[in-house]
Amino acid sequence: MSAAYALQIALNASVVSALYGLLAVSYVLVHGITRRVNLAFGALSVWSGYLLINLALYFMLWNPGLILLPLLGAAGYALISTTLVGLVSERLVVRPLVRSGALAMLVATLGLSIALEELMRLQNSSAESWLMPLYSEPIVLDAVNGVSTRPVQIFVCVAALLLAAAISYAIEKLPFGRRWRAVSQDLAMAELCGVDVGRTLSITFAVASCSAACAGALSALYYGQASFSSGLLIGLKTLFVAVIGGLDSVGGAFIAALLLGAFETFWSGYFSEEWRDAITLAGLTALMIFFPSGIFVGAKRREDLR
């Protein structure tokens, strides 16, 4: 259990953290203007993963010897298709319930998540999809202690960080961000001031769905696997993360996701992996009890929430 072993685990944790971070950002974006929890983002990410793997394999079969172009084509289709699914679900499920109780939205999006998982199961004959390892040649960082990384690992981390940074920049600097902040602070007053709340909600849901789709596509590329049964668990974990990081803070949610990914990976590296999910969810529950408004929420904002 050397320092080199810990460094290798930290490198592996970076990918898990980045993927959790993108999903947590999806929850924060939608909750910020609806004040409602959407449980469908985990299923949307898995939907994107299935599309990426199935289409990439199909394109590679018809274009032997090509790897990058089929992957790019499959990734583009997966992101666009999943974003459109998210927009349709926003118009049919989310928007009619925005002014309803929180429980109605929770139950409706849970049903949407289960419906998407069942569609994936039926479309794939109750089977998981697998992709061969791609761009996985090791890049040795420490030959003596065997510390290494892989091109796909670097790509996943950089892509996730760039997307999260772009979303944060959009919220802080672009007109969409000003409208999002206005609606999140006071929806009724934003409407009185001329903000198109419906359009802002649609754009927000498109960005959130695209973020979830990117998380699913990057996960499928890195792990080479997509499973219809994993959407709900992934969604619940990232929901916990978003709450702990502060449901109004994109940066806070991403930092909380980094911590969750590091904890899970280090637990798997040093202890029994079969206990990982149970311990993780128990720990997240405890944090929610002691920090119901989020760890990374400022003191003034925490007092307002109370």
The tens digit of pLDDT for each residue in 169-195 reads 998 889 998 999 888 888 888 888 888
User: What are 174's two structure tokens?
Assistant: 């672009």
Q: Which residue has tokens 């993108």?
A: 22
The tens digit of pLDDT for each residue in 12-43 reads 999 998 998 899 889 889 888 888 888 889 99
Q: Give the pLDDT confidence score for residue 226 in this predicted structure.
A: 92
How far apart, in whole angstroms, are the C-alpha atoms of residue 77 and residue 56?
A: 10
Using alpha carbons only, give the angle 259, 264, 266 rounded to the nearest 5 degrees: 95
Q: Give the pLDDT confidence score for residue 296 in this predicted structure.
A: 65
> 17-48 burial string, b = 16+ CB within 10 Å, else e?
bbbbbbbbbbbbbbbbbbebbbbbbbbbbbbb
Q: What domains, with CATH codes, occur in the chain? A: 3-305 (1.10.3470)
pLDDT > 90: percent of the chain: 35
The tens digit of pLDDT for each residue in 130-179 reads 999 889 898 888 877 778 899 999 999 999 999 989 998 998 889 998 99
From residue 122, give the alpha-carbon distance in Å to each of 131, 176, 278.
19, 38, 29
From residue 123, give the alpha-carbon distance in Å to each of 109, 120, 126, 208.
21, 5, 8, 25
Q: Are 280 and 265 in contact (CB under 8 A)?
A: no
Q: Which residue has tokens 């002691």?
A: 290
Q: Which residue has tokens 């849901």?
A: 205
Please tell me whether the overall predicted TM-score, pTM, comes out greater than 0.95 for this model.
no
How far apart, in whole angstroms, are the C-alpha atoms of residue 255 and residue 263?
A: 13
Residue 305 pLDDT greater than 50, yes or no: no
Q: Give the pLDDT confidence score for residue 300 in this predicted structure.
A: 38
User: What are 143's two structure tokens?
Assistant: 């030959």
